[in-house]
Amino acid sequence: MVSDIRKTLRGVAKNLVKEVDDVCEQWLTNLVSKIDDDAPLDFQPKQVNDPVWGTIELLPWEVAILDTPFMQRLRGVRQLGLAQLVFPGANHGRLEHSIGVIGAIEEATRALTRQIERWNLKNPDNHIRPVDESDRQAVRLAGLFHDVGHGPFSHALEPVLEINSPLGSKNQTQADWRAELPHIRAKLSELYSLNKRPSSSVAIAVMMVLSEPVHKILSSKVMAEIKLNAEELESRIVAGIVGAVEGPGATYLSALVSSQLDADRMDYLARDAHHAGLKIGFDTDRLLAKLEILRVREENLHGTEIELRTRASRSKEGTFLQLGIAASGFGSFEQMLIGRTFLYDRLYHHHKVRAAEAMAQRLMLVAERDRGNRLSFKEIFLGVGDDTMLRIFSREVQHQVLKTDSPAAANLASRILDRNLLHRAYAFRGRFIAMPNGLGAKEESQTQNEHWGRIVKTLEGLGNRYDLGKEIYDLAVRSCDAILAEDPDEQDIKKMQQILKEMGPEHVIVDLPDSKTEGIRLLARYPNGALRVPEFSFNPQKWAEAYELQKRTGYVFCPKDVAPLIGMAAKTVFLKKFGVVMAPEADGYIKADPAPEAWTKPLIAADIIDEQAAELLREKRHSLLPVRPEDLNVPSTWLETDPDLATRLSVDIQKCLHGGLTAADMKALGTVLNGLFVFVDAWYEGGRVTQDLLSEKELQDLLASSLRGQAIKVAEGTEVSGGELDLFVENAILIENKFSSKPKAKISDAPGVQGRRYAIALNSQVVIVVSASRAKAGAFKDKVACVTACPVSGEALNRVEIRIDLPFGAVVPSAERSK
């Protein structure tokens, strides 16, 4: 099985294998040549000074691998991506971290060795096999290799690697190796029992370890001192990198490289805080002292661990070993998780760091879009540092492998290099969503939640975020034109118009920070000897999630000079798409000046927004209400026939409206629909279905009379849109009547308002069409099936047509028979 790992994994990703082999060959050519030439290999151990672990001793074969471009390129891949733009000390690279992980592994294996010795002294008949040299050498190598799958800008690259169709360009060619990454991840999950699914960079690291040149090195005399053969060594390294629980090469030491309490985390937390200059303490010494090799047996496993009991029962001597923690170490473990949360908040999620990371992601996607094909593996793993990569994209430096001529990508790269980062133009957060007055606390919070849910769902993925940013940009351009049409001498706007033209939509970035999550995947030994998942009275992981969510704020970033305009456009687009207006509190997160009030009038004049929308955005400052089943007043007798009618209608209406309705329009809709349901009941029960109907006029008269009889305000059509046969009800809703003397499945659509160019119009969002058509012989719709909702014809705007199709002139069965 061990020897199959390499064959199996390389077998499922032939294109990726070729790409990886090629770059690794280039990086390792000198070392491989020496091996091929049988040249003397004189690698000596080295001691390096490290700010976290003190002196770290590197073994000869580690030095051999370290002193190649394969590892040295990690020197330029900054551990914290672009955080150094905000925290100047946070300049450390992944090479330093990788060496640090060896230091952490060494400390951990020492601590475990001491613990094993203590156990073995106390339990002479029940020994735990000591950590031997091979174990130690293999796990150190896994630590050395664990980050080799990282490309430029560290984790910021991963979403770029995984996106299928960047920025919606139709002219993309998907490199085959990208498509194979998920296969590798899936295969690793199949081969190993894992605590979590491997990421793309982990999958790439595994394939690099299994590459031809690395295989050659691991099989060579460079490794002569290691007692494991190349296949065993590879499987141990792979098991460590993926944090395998069980599977080929997996031992309890695999968890030292990747798990919830691994050397990787122990190193980066301390190192990142140290270099960033943040005073966040981690009690690493105590954590190391509390690491334990747990002897997992059926009898000491807590009853909740059913599958582990099964695993123990089928293990040799009913026991398997697993890395865990003593309950007395919970405090340090909690401290680590909490410290990590503060690091996320202050360092990783700092708004300027986010702006820079988002710009780096954007520039790579834009470069790919503009040249019409994705970046190849060789171009991503160019072997140059982050800064050089930026200089290549900025076209300051030319590289023979990576060709890019995208002006937009170049501009973004130059901005990062000059620390001319994008600014916050608009802030959004769940708790900032402003609600209209008059809602109860529960309704207010549910509506807020519903709006926020729609926002976070829409912003899933870089492609969607780009689309939203582009929509904001396009609206800003239109707004400029409208303001200049009103006042051609508006100098500020002229300047902004020029900047918008030069920067393009690529410089408007909608960003919402990713939260992190992980279930507790660690076994703990309690004082009574029981092994179980730690049960914290205060679960720091859950607390961390809550803390992050409380502070999770999305931003729309753009160049500073156009921030007022982009901010205004963002507010409008968020109202249009999500129905939300953020409370004034959100403005406190933006440094840019708000858009002057004088800009509103030209936008109304240009039909970009209507009066109602402008009022909502400026004076009223609250969100729309999403349509709920109970808002529609569907009679209970109808719901007995079709229990889902109100829900289905509300879903269809909401789909068309996007954001929802103003509180006043929602009230009017409920009132009007209530009146219409009464009218339909009377239509069916009063025999109208079988009676004849002469004209549209007769239909309108019947309807108007019914509504007026229910004290609903009805205005005849000529007053509103010039047609004779329209009704305008409750000063909010247009009812259009349709008539056909012949049976028709559907009478023509209600007309949209022709030539509308609105970004958002809140006037007349709902059009109701009451249509009557002669019933087909034999059958006609039940009344509960006569109400439907659909988009208003010809419009992609936030308007809905609610349709009531009424039959008339149906032939009664006895009359039909007599014909």
Binders in 283-302 for other proteins, by CB under 8 A? 302
Residue among 304 and 691 whose Cβ is closer to other proteins: 304
Please give the residues from 337 up to 366 whose contact with other proteins meets the rule CB under 8 A.
Answer: 348, 357
Task: Candidates 49, 125, 438, 538: give the one binding other proteins (CB under 8 A).
Answer: 538
- Taking the complex as a whole, the smallest distance from the CB of residue 492 to other proteins amounts, in Å, to 37
3-state secondary structure of 297: strand
3-state secondary structure of 47: strand
Q: Are 797 and 778 within 8 A, CB to CB?
A: no
The CA R_g of the chain, rounded to the nearest whole Å, is: 33
Instruction: Map residues 62-101 to x or -, x wherever contact with other proteins holds by CB under 8 A.
Output: ------------------xx-x------------------
Q: Are 111 and 288 within 8 A, CB to CB?
A: yes
> How far apart (Å, rounded) are the C-alpha atoms in residues 427 and 592?
11
Residue among 283 and 545 whose Cβ is closer to other proteins: 545
| Residue 188 binding other proteins, by CB under 8 A | no
- Taking the complex as a whole, the smallest distance from the CB of residue 554 to other proteins amounts, in Å, to 11
- Taking the complex as a whole, the smallest distance from the CB of residue 450 to other proteins amounts, in Å, to 6
Task: Candidates 22, 545, 698, 749: give the one binding other proteins (CB under 8 A).
Answer: 545
Q: Put the strands of the sheet holding 787-791 in their side by side order.
A: 714-716, 726-729, 733-740, 766-774, 800-808, 787-791
Residue among 160 and 614 whose Cβ is closer to other proteins: 160
Task: Candidates 620, 628, 713, 756: give the one binding other proteins (CB under 8 A).
Answer: 628
Task: Candidates 224, 401, 485, 651: give the one binding other proteins (CB under 8 A).
Answer: 651
- Taking the complex as a whole, the smallest distance from the CB of residue 804 to other proteins amounts, in Å, to 20
Residue among 163 and 483 whose Cβ is closer to other proteins: 163
3-state secondary structure of 506: helix
Task: Candidates 47, 398, 449, 705: give the one binding other proteins (CB under 8 A).
Answer: 449
Q: Are 750 and 723 within 8 A, CB to CB?
A: no
Please give the residues from 371 up to 400 whose contact with other proteins meets the rule CB under 8 A.
Answer: none
Residue among 547 and 684 whose Cβ is closer to other proteins: 547
Instruction: Map residues 546-575 to x or -, x wherever contact with other proteins holds by CB under 8 A.
Output: x--xx-x-----------------------
| Residue 644 binding other proteins, by CB under 8 A | yes
- Taking the complex as a whole, the smallest distance from the CB of residue 634 to other proteins amounts, in Å, to 12
Please give the residues from 680 up to 719 whose contact with other proteins meets the rule CB under 8 A.
Answer: none
- Taking the complex as a whole, the smallest distance from the CB of residue 442 to other proteins amounts, in Å, to 8
- Taking the complex as a whole, the smallest distance from the CB of residue 558 to other proteins amounts, in Å, to 23
Residue among 48 and 456 whose Cβ is closer to other proteins: 456
| Residue 307 binding other proteins, by CB under 8 A | yes
- Taking the complex as a whole, the smallest distance from the CB of residue 131 to other proteins amounts, in Å, to 19
Q: Please enumerate in sequence order all residues whose Cβ is within 8 A of that of 30, keeping only pairs 6 or more positions apart, or say none.
A: 68
| Residue 790 binding other proteins, by CB under 8 A | no
Question: Closest Cα partner for 98 from 54, 148, 144?
Answer: 144
Please give the residues from 467 up to 526 whose contact with other proteins meets the rule CB under 8 A.
Answer: 514-523
Q: Which amino acid, 569?
A: A
Residue among 188 and 804 whose Cβ is closer to other proteins: 188
> How far apart (Å, rounded) are the C-alpha atoms in residues 512 and 191?
35
What is the CA 173 to chain-centroid distance, rounded?
Answer: 24
CA distances from 134 to 137, 232, 466, 549 (A): 5, 10, 50, 44
Q: Are 47 and 57 within 8 A, CB to CB?
A: yes
Q: Please enumerate in sequence order all residues whose Cβ is within 8 A of that of 93, keeping only pairs 6 or more positions apart, or say none.
A: 74, 75, 76, 77, 78, 79, 385
Q: Are 577 and 659 within 8 A, CB to CB?
A: yes
First to last CA, the chain: 82
Task: Candidates 452, 574, 677, 758: give the one binding other proteins (CB under 8 A).
Answer: 452
Residue among 268 and 739 whose Cβ is closer to other proteins: 268
Residue among 554 and 809 whose Cβ is closer to other proteins: 554
Q: Which amino acid, 355?
A: A
Q: Which stretch binds other proteins (CB under 8 A): 152-160, 368-376, 483-491, 657-665?
A: 152-160
Q: Is 73 left (phi over 0), alpha (psi -120 to 50) or beta?
A: alpha
* DSSP calls for 357-369: HHHHHHHHHHHHH
| Residue 158 binding other proteins, by CB under 8 A | yes
> How far apart (Å, rounded) are the C-alpha atoms in residues 275 and 152?
20
3-state SS of 141-191 is HHHHHCCCCCCCCHHHHHHHHHCCCHHHCCCCCCCHHHHHHHHHHHHHHHH
Task: Candidates 219, 376, 445, 690: give the one binding other proteins (CB under 8 A).
Answer: 445
Q: Which two tokens stand for residue 397?
A: 């430096």
- Taking the complex as a whole, the smallest distance from the CB of residue 236 to other proteins amounts, in Å, to 17
Task: Candidates 132, 299, 630, 685: give the one binding other proteins (CB under 8 A).
Answer: 630
CA distances from 794 to 48, 756, 797 (A): 70, 10, 9
Task: Candidates 457, 742, 817, 819: give the one binding other proteins (CB under 8 A).
Answer: 457
Please give the residues from 235 up to 264 whose contact with other proteins meets the rule CB under 8 A.
Answer: 245-246, 255, 259
Task: Candidates 89, 130, 372, 461: give the one binding other proteins (CB under 8 A).
Answer: 461
Q: Which two tokens stand for residue 304?
A: 């909740």
3-state secondary structure of 27: helix
